[in-house]
Amino acid sequence: MKVSGKLAEGSDEDDESLILDFESDSDVIDDVDNESVLLGRDNDVNDSSDSSCYESGDLSGNYLGFDQREKVLNPGFGDNTYDDDGVPKLNYNCLTTDQIYELMVSRLERIQPIFQLSYGDIIVMLQKYAWSEERLLEDWTEDREKVLVACGLEITKTVSKSRGIQNHSDFLCHICCESNKQKTFRLECGHEYCVECYEHYIKDKLPEGKIITCMSCSLALKNSDIDEILGDNSSQTLMISSIKGFIQKHSKHYKWCPFVDCNCVIQVSNLSSLSEFPRLHLSPYVVCENQHRFCFKCGLESHSPGDCQVAEQWVKLAQLESENLNWVLKNTKECPKCGVNIEKNGGCNHMTCQSCEYQFCWICEQCWNGHGGGFYECTRFKKDEKLGTAETKNSLRKYTFYYKLFSEHENSAKLDWNLGLTVEQKVKVLQENIGISWIETQFLSESIRALIEGRTTLKWSFPVAFYADPSHNLTKIFVDNQALLVSAVEDLSQLLQVKEPQNIIDRKREFYNKARFVETRSKALAGCGRDLLCKGICVPFQ
């Protein structure tokens, strides 16, 4: 692995570089004298129990250790603060795997003096310990020989051959069983195989993110060996996979952005405030670098006005029902009399319900008697009222109704997203051609964002409506608010359909107003939904 920068010899420079990775916090550093930074550092490197006072019980995920520092630097961080709307403040960073990798490297530079080993060796040990410095240090101080052997850095019986790529004239590799091999690789254990086999083997192992060992024993290959064999810097891939594994293991602190093809990782530093959200029927929303908004608690996209419970129940229900439902909707109709679902398996439209023997017309769902043999006369499309349907049917129908709305708005949001991209592209071209400034076209991306967020809010308002008590007055207000948001969103969406980019620029003010309106309506609907949840009018049931 290539580690740039110098060794950490208790200098405060690397402390700073560690924090500078977070742009948002870099301004804080100036206010704090380096003395306390140094103290903080020593504490959390040498004595793991010390650092636990910042966040008891949650240490397990803090192996990267930088979040604790933030709290030391910024006294206000640990407290749960609220914004104007009474939403608890969440402190988080958006990182990419590359950034995490850099953080790990700088972390490495800091702990290197303790081990007095090469970076390659420490990386192997950290991988073995799933990047938990605390555990590694604990075992290290207890029995360093044991740690070295366990990590595959030392072998018990000393064969001590030289390590690295060897040249031969005629070598028989025992993996591929081919002779005439010229280039081979071996570790100190003396197990020697051809480079092709090693390449094959390493490439296979890279995505697993675990220590890669000798093909015969448990001696570990270091990143430098991997790069030497493959002739590039593939060890970076191993590190990235290793980091992915780390994030998956510590999902309490880190979450992947759930959006397709987005590589962002959100790290929340004040976990204690996370617990505030459910009580207030709110959800901890975070926004990644690519402007994707999602809920840090359940990992779903933004699901306001519903809370996580509503979203969770709804998704569960959708998974459970959707396949059944799709089939039922496509292939069956309910018996107009008893409500049982009937599949039409022949061409004849004269149906006889097997359960209540009611005879009816498939087309108009009326009693067959009235047809008198001439079913073509049925012109009425659908009845409004159904008689005697069972409770379960009712709830299924209700669910279907809301599910349709939900998925329709989901689709629209996707389409709007694509539309937004093309419109943005057009405007970009225009901007270059006639030379208007970037800032002047910002209204467009803001409008698109407002539109998508409006759609998402709308989409998730249907689960809330589904679970809410329909007779309650507040539910009625909620539904009215829904309707208002629908019209606001559709207005804005329509505005975006404008073909000519010049028109878009001309109608800037209109965009602003409509986007603003969508935002206000979204907020109102979200507030209204929260009311329903807080007052127990909307209760997601199992």
Size of the site for other proteins (CB under 8 A): 17
Closest contact distance (angstroms) between CB of 262 and other proteins is 29
Q: Which is nearer to other proteins, 79 or 208 (CB)?
A: 208
| Candidate residues 104, 105, 214, 264; the one interacting with other proteins per rule CB under 8 A | 214
Binder of other proteins out of 74, 96, 213, 237 (CB under 8 A) = 213
* Nearer residue to other proteins within complex by CB, 190 or 527: 190
What are the beta bridge partners of residue 462? Answer: none
Q: Which is nearer to other proteins, 217 or 318 (CB)?
A: 217
> Cβ distance 136 to 121 under 8 Å?
no
Q: Which residues inside 493-512 make contact with other proteins, applying CB under 8 A?
A: none
Phi, then psi, of 521 in degrees rounded to 5: -65, -40
Closest to other proteins by CB, 176 or 483: 176
Does position 3 bind other proteins by CB under 8 A?
A: no
Task: Tell me the window of 63-71, 175-183, 453-461, 479-487 that interacts with other proteins (CB under 8 A).
Answer: 175-183
**249 contact partners, CB below 8 Å, separation of at least 6:** 130
Check binding of 249 to other proteins (CB under 8 A).
no
Cβ proximity to other proteins, 152 vs 339, nearer residue: 152
Kindly state the smallest distance separating residue 246's Cβ from other proteins, in Å: 17
Tell me which of 216, 224, 341, 407 binds other proteins, using CB under 8 A: 216
Q: In 3D, which of 94, 91, 123, 121 has the Cα closest to residue 107?
A: 123
Which of 127, 136, 130 has its CA nearest to residue 45? 136
Q: In whole angstroms, give the CA distance from residue 309 to residue 295.
A: 12
Catalytic member of 173, 338, 348, 528: 348
Q: Is 333 in the site for other proteins (CB under 8 A)?
A: no
Cβ-Cβ contacts under 8 Å for 404 (sequence gap 6 or more): none
* Three-state DSSP class for residue 126: helix
DSSP string, 208-249: GTS--B-SSSSPBPPHHHHHHHHTS-THHHHHHHHHHHHHHH
Asked if residue 329 binds other proteins (CB under 8 A), the reply is no
Task: With CA atoms as reference, report the closest residue to 166 among 188, 141, 134, 140.
Answer: 188
Nearest approach, Cβ of 194 to other proteins (angstroms)?
A: 11
Of 538, 519, 394, the residue nearest 446 (C-alpha):
519
* 439 touches other proteins (CB under 8 A): no
* Least separation in angstroms between CB 231 and other proteins: 20
CA dist 245 to 40, 207, 234, 350, Å?
A: 28, 10, 17, 60
- Least Å distance, CB 178 to other proteins, is 7
Residue from 79, 143, 178, 343 touching other proteins (CB under 8 A): that is: 178
> For residue 410, which amino acid is it?
E
Residue 348 catalytic?
yes
Task: Name the one range near other proteins by CB under 8 A: 102-110, 169-177, 336-344, 503-511.
Answer: 169-177
CA distance 187 to 213: 10
The answer to whether 515 touches 504, Cβ cutoff 8 Å, is: no
Instruction: Look at residues 351, 342, 332, 337 and name the one whose alpha carbon lies nearest to residue 387.
Output: 337
Beta carbon of residue 204, minimum distance to other proteins (angstroms, whole number): 5
Residue 144 tokens, joined: 């360093």
Helices (H) and strands (E) in the chain, counts: 19, 12
Minimum distance, C-beta of residue 63 to other proteins, in the bound complex (Å): 22
**Which tokens in the block code for residue 203?**
């490439």
3-state helix, strand, coil in the chain (%, to 5): 55, 10, 35
The amino acid at 288: C
Least Cβ distance, residue 89 to other proteins (angstroms): 42
CA–CA separation, 297 vs 311, rounded Å? 11
In the complex, what is the shortest distance from the CB of residue 130 to other proteins, in angstroms, rounded to a whole number? 14
Smallest separation, CB 212 to other proteins (Å): 11
Asked if residues 213 and 219 have their Cβ atoms less than 8 Å apart, the reply is yes
Three-state SS for 11? Answer: coil
199 or 289: CB nearest other proteins = 199
- x/- map, 183-202, other proteins, by CB under 8 A: --------x-x---x--xx-
Q: Which of 417, 414, 429 is nearest to 500 (CA)?
A: 429
Q: Which helix (H) or strand (E) holds 51?
A: helix 48-51
Query: Which of these segments, 213-221, 329-337, 475-483, 509-517, binds other proteins (CB under 8 A)?
Result: 213-221
Sole residue written with tokens 């004595």: 47
For other proteins, which stretch binds (CB under 8 A), given 114-122, 172-180, 335-343, 444-452? 172-180
> Within 10 Å of residue 150's Cβ, how many Cβ atoms?
15
- Binding pattern to other proteins, positions 122-161, x when CB under 8 A? ----------------------------------------
Count of all residues that appear for the chain in the document = 542
8 A C-beta contact, residue 211 and residue 202: no
Nearer to other proteins, 156 or 471 (CB): 156
- Positions in 258-317 near other proteins (CB under 8 A): none
Binding window for other proteins (CB under 8 A); candidates: 37-45, 135-143, 159-167, 216-224? 216-224
Tell me whether residue 184 or residue 447 sits nearer to other proteins (CB atom). Answer: 184
Q: Given the complex with other proteins, which of 17 and 216 has the nearer CB atom?
A: 216
363 binds other proteins (CB under 8 A): no
Q: Which is nearer to other proteins, 153 or 444 (CB)?
A: 153
Q: Given the rule CB under 8 A, which residues bind other proteins? A: 174-178, 191, 193, 197, 200-201, 204, 213-218
Residue numbers annotated as active site: 348
